[in-house]
Amino acid sequence: MKLLDKAFRLLGSKGARYGVPAALLLAMTALPFFLDDYALHVLWNAMFYALLALGLNVIVGYCGLCDLGYAAKFAIGAYTTGILMKSFGWNFWLTLPMSILVAVITAVIIGAPTLKLRSDYLAIVTLGFAEIVRITARNLPITGSASGLNAIARPSLFGLRLTKISHWYYVFLVLVVIFVFISNRLRHSRFGRALAYIREDEDAAQAMGVDTTRYKLYAYMIGAVLGGVTGSFFAVTMTSISPGSFDFTQSANILLAVILGGMGKIPGVIAGAAFFAIFPEIFRDVPIVGNMRMLFFGLLLIVVMITRPQGFWPERKRG
Amino acid sequence: MRKHAIRYIAVLAALTLLSSVFAGCGKTSGGTEAEKPITIGVLVPLSGSEAYYGNDMLQSYKLACDEINAAGGVLGRKLALYEADDGCDPNMATQAASKIIAKGVDFVVGGYGSGATIPTLQLFYDEDLLMLVSCANSTDITKLGLNQTFMINSPGTHAVITLTELCKSLGTKKVALIHQGDAYTKNLSDICEKELPKSDIAIAKVQVMEKNTPDVSAIVTAIRNSGADFVYWCGYHADGSNVIKQLRRGGYQGNIAVGDGSASVELISACGSDGEGVYVTSPPFVEFAQGGEKFVADYKAKFNMAPGTYATLCYDTIYLLKEAIEQAGTTETASVRDAVQGAAYQGLSGMIKFTPEREPAVSNFIILQIKDGKFDLVTL
């Protein structure tokens, strides 16, 4: 385990800090020329989870709030885009600002009353809210009730209609870069330090003059916006969305990806999400192990949690 | 020492991961067009709660393919199946669809749950692939308007026609409906709500029961108080058996019927004596099909288990495809599509024909009743 920490410290050193991500990005850009559609789809799925995990990381990793209903944020984005495109004939790119706006409004509605309290209450409210969103979506005619919204049009970008998985691979790669940039800037800003303070000791933060309720609400809003934007892109990539995609398991998976990867650490969170998306697929076609892969997956999660309770690649505490 | 062991395991795991990534990259090649088998992609749930059905579907496809191959194949070429696990989940299903597309298959069959099947249809359509949906039967499938998607299984509207006939013959006045909130069961419940009142049968109550709800007492009480003399369970057998047991133990005396999601022999064993007399609006079970004995015997000999609910539909799907390819004389999608559209194939599940909307023109639903721990065919 010490070896792992040493490796991570090496990756965090000055030379590697920019070199390794750049090399990785270059490799990811080149991959579609070598891989088939299925492999690209698996990688797309990994990036999709990485986006969700990065969004949740702002709430859970940076601010230390417990959100058990992140699927609702991403459902709201997906449905906002879906409804505006299907029922009102909007262009996809115009739905993005709306999706952000709706995410902010819902975050304020949920966050404003609960974030004044200790974070445990947020966990319960978010859990309940996620169920409300899912069940509402299942029963309203405008959300297509249980069968959801189908045949959502594929958008165009600079005249190119995005239909192939390789197109979406690049779109999501760009999104990951943007999300990483945002997360990174947040982390190293005054705002990010305030969030870390709240996470470590809320009372002390308040005593030092940090307006904890307001900062927590901002963190929650940013997390919701990132989730909403991811949801919007999810809707047009899949071309159909249904309440089944936004159940509690989805929320739990995203949360697990963040915790498993290492809360607050951007590469850790991405690694956690990638692991979550890729692991079950890789072992699918391996004989014998294939049928029991979810069992091994569970065991591996337990092993990681026992040997590295702070996550696979945790944030290093500064002295 | 312990630390070393963990490290070695980690390295080993990483190596396995890497090697399987690269193993998956190799694309298949070789063989001329005429020698190459006709590859059929199979989209079925092979993991998760619906794996039993997915496995049954896959085995039925296999049986049909093996028979056809033993008889010389289609247009002199063998049939080969390539299955992908959709887990009955929309996200996993699109991934599975990409896997099938990446394999470069000629046709696609399968599709168990409508919720998981619908998102894949556009993907197949974009790749100019013909998709024969064997089981999923929500009418939303054809509403997408993709002219290369055909529904083999009768949609919910057909089930409700059969149900209405059953209700009428039993003199039913008030029906209580229970669904599980997903695309398939809610769709069925919605159709009942719309169609039954047209035959002067009132709807007492529509209940929603989430999957894996352990306590159903609230629903049982609500149904008993509603004065319904007929309960139609639109959901799946796992929760259905629980509802039936609790209804009977709660003193409910009226008739109970279940939809095709519960048409499984597992329902009988799970319900025990409480299941006696329960009606099923069922897909064409092979035991009750004409000429089904040979199929049952062959299936048992090959897989050492009894064929399941959708076995005949899947078996017929492959034969329908074979006929269509032979009629078209090519594996080209457009020609085979036209041949399927015009097909009139007499299969184990009955006559397979399509409406211009690519839905089945002939209903293949039958009514069964549990009697002495067995399904019995009911003729009205």
For the stretch B29-73, pLDDT in tens is 444 556 789 999 999 998 877 888 899 999 999 999 999 999 988
User: Are the Cβ atoms of A38 and B122 closer than 8 angstroms?
Assistant: no
Tell me whether residue B23 is in a domain: no
Contact B186/A240, CB-based, under 8 Å? no
In this structure, what token pair is assigned to residue A91? Answer: 């262009």
Domain boundaries, chain A: 34-307
What would the DSSP string read from start to end of B168-213?
HHHT--EEEEEE-SSHHHHHHHHHHHHHGGGGT-EEEEEEE--TT-
How much is the pLDDT for B33?
58
Q: Are residues B258 and B302 in the same domain?
A: no
CB contact under 8 Å between A38 and B20, yes or no, is no
Residue of chain B minimizing CA distance to A245: B90
> Is the dihedral angle over the CA atoms B141, B143, B148, B154 positive or is it negative?
positive
Contact state of A146 with B187 under an 8 Å Cβ cutoff: yes
Indicate the helix (H) or strand (E) that contains A169: helix A165-187
pLDDT at B251 over 70: yes
Contacts of A245 in chain B (CB under 8 A): 89-91
Are residue B274 and residue B294 in the same domain, yes or no? no
A interface test, pick of B18, B20, B120, B143 with most A CB neighbours within 10 Å:
B20
Q: Is residue B27 part of a domain?
A: no
Asked if B73 and B115 sit in the same domain, the reply is: yes
Write down the pTM of the prediction. 0.79
CB contact under 8 A, A42 and B95: yes
Same domain, B128 and B62: yes
Whole-number Cα distances in Å, A36 to A16, A166, B100, B206: 30, 9, 11, 47
CATH 1.10.3470 fits A34-307, yes or no: yes
| Low-confidence residues of chain A: pLDDT under 70 | 1-2, 14-15, 119, 287-291, 317-319
Tell me which chain A residues have a C-beta less than 8 angstroms from the C-beta of B186. 138, 145-147
Cβ <8 Å between A240 and B122: yes
pLDDT digits (tens, 9 = 90+) for B125-136: 988 999 999 988
Q: Which two tokens stand for residue B26?
A: 């190799």
Residues B298, B317, single domain; the answer is: yes
Taking a C-beta distance cutoff of 8 angstroms, is the pair B193, B164 a contact? no
B103 and A245: CB-CB below 8 Å?
Answer: no
- Within an 8 Å CB–CB cutoff, is residue B99 touching chain A? yes
Q: Could you say which of B225, B252, B282 is where a domain stops?
A: B282
Q: How far apart are CA B178 and CA B241, in angstroms?
A: 13
Q: Answer yes or no: do B126 and B178 share one domain.
A: no
Residue B30 in 3-state DSSP?
coil
Q: Is residue B28 scored above 50 in pLDDT?
A: no
**Does the residue B368 lie in any domain?**
no
How far does the CA of residue A279 sit from the closest CA of chain B (Å)?
A: 8
B118·A282 Cβ contact <8 A: no
Residues 251-290 of A with CB under 8 A from B: 279, 281-286
Which domain CATH number covers B336? 3.40.50.2300
In this structure, are B88 and B164 located in the same domain? no
Report the distance separating Cα A107 and Cα A135, nearest Å. Answer: 18
Chain B residues with CB-CB distance to A41 below 8 A: 94-95, 98-99, 102
Test B115 with A148 for CB contact under 8 angstroms: yes
CA distance B102 to B148: 19
Q: Give tens-digit pLDDT for B194-224.
A: 999 998 999 988 888 888 777 888 888 888 8
Nearest by Cα to A251 from A126, A79, A119, A147:
A126
Q: Are residues B97 and B182 in the same domain?
A: no
Judged against a pLDDT cut of 50, whether residue B349 lies above it is answered with yes
B20 touches chain A (CB under 8 A): yes
User: How far away is chain B from the Cα of A184, in angstroms, using its nearest Cα?
Assistant: 28
How far apart are the C-alpha atoms of B259 and B239, rounded to whole Å?
12
For chain B, the domain total comes to 2
Quote the mean pLDDT of chain B: 85
Contact status of A113 with chain B (Cβ, < 8 Å):
no
- Is the same domain home to B201 and B84? no
Q: Which of A45, A245, A284 has the CB atom closest to B90's CB atom?
A: A245
In a domain, B9, yes or no: no
Q: Within an 8 Å CB–CB cutoff, is residue B101 touching chain A?
A: yes
pLDDT in tens, B283-294: 888 878 777 888
Closest residue, chain A, to B115 (C-alpha): A147
**Would you place residue B26 in the very low, low, confident or very high pLDDT band (cuts 50, 70, 90)?**
very low
From B91's Cα to the closest Cα of chain A, the distance in A is 7
Both tokens assigned to B31: 């063989």
Q: What angle, 0 to 180 degrees and rounded to 10, lies between the N-to-C axes of helices A165-187 and A212-238?
A: 170
pLDDT value, residue B30: 43
Query: Cα B380 vs. chain centroid, distance in angstroms?
Result: 25
From B124's Cα to the closest Cα of chain A, the distance in A is: 11
Residue A206: C-alpha distances to residues A194, A195, A200 (Å):
10, 11, 12
**Chain A residue with minimum CA distance to B102:** A37
- Contact list in B for residue A294 (CB cut-off 8 A) is 47
Is B6 among the domain residues? Answer: no
Q: For the packed helices B292-303 and B51-70, what is the interaxial angle rounded to 10 degrees?
A: 100
Whether residue B331 sits in one domain with residue B236: no
The two structure tokens encoding residue B44: 């079925």
Considering the domain architecture, whether residues B127 and B203 belong to the same structural domain is answered as: no
Of A146, A240, A243, the CB nearest to B119: A240
For testing contact with chain B, the best of A1, A4, A34, A36 (most B CBs within 10 A): A36
CB pairs under 8 A between A and B: 108
Task: Write down the pLDDT at residue A282.
Answer: 79
Residues B142-175 pLDDT 10s: 888 888 999 998 888 888 999 999 999 999 999 9
CA distance B314 to B57: 6
Cα separation of A304 and A267, whole Å?
A: 17
Would an 8 Å CB–CB cutoff place A71 in contact with chain B? no
CA distances from B124 to A241, B131, B152, B333, B376 (A): 17, 7, 17, 12, 39
Sign (positive or negative) of CA dihedral B191, A249, A142, B138? negative
Inter-chain touch B119–A238, beta carbons under 8 Å: yes
Q: Is A245 near chain B, with CB under 8 Å?
A: yes
- The CA distances from residue A98 to A29, A85, A156, A229, A230, in Å, are 30, 12, 18, 10, 13
Alpha-carbon distance of A9 to A19, in angstroms, equals: 14
Answer with the one of B282, B301, B331 that is the final residue of a domain: B282
Cα–Cα distance measured from residue B165 to residue A195, given in angstroms and rounded to the nearest whole number: 65
Interface of A with B in 146-185 (CB under 8 A): 146-148, 150-151, 163-165
The answer as to whether B1 is a domain residue is no
Partner-chain residue, chosen from A135, A150, A165, that has the shortest CB–CB distance to B118? A150
Q: Does B98 touch chain A (CB under 8 A)?
A: yes
CB-CB under 8 Å, A145 with B101: no
Tell whether B109 is covered by a domain.
yes
Residue in chain A lying closest to B8 (CA): A1
B166 and A CB contact within 8 Å:
no
Q: How far is A257 from chain B (nearest CA, A)?
A: 17
B289, HSE (Cβ side, Cα atoms, 13 Å): 28
Is B362 contained in some domain?
no
A148 contacts on B by Cβ (under 8 Å) = 115, 118, 183
Would you call B91 an interface residue with chain A, using a CB distance cutoff of 8 Å? yes
A139 to chain B: closest CA residue: B181
Residue of A nearest to B11 (CA): A4
Question: Do B268 and B165 have their domain in common?
Answer: yes
Return the amino acid letter for B364.
Answer: N
- The whole-number pLDDT of residue A227 equals 96
Q: Does B316 touch chain A (CB under 8 A)?
A: no
Range of the domain at B81: 38-154+289-352
Question: Which amino acid, one-letter code, is at B363?
Answer: S
Angstrom distances, CA of residue B61 to CA of A55, A138, B107, B350 = 43, 33, 13, 17
State residue A224's pLDDT score: 96
Residues pairing with B346 in the sheet: B351
DSSP H or E stretch at residue B83: strand B79-85
- Write the DSSP assignment of A68-94 as a string of letters: S-HHHHHHHHHHHHHHHHHHH---HHH
The rounded distance, in Å, linking the Cα atoms of A180 and A18 is: 13
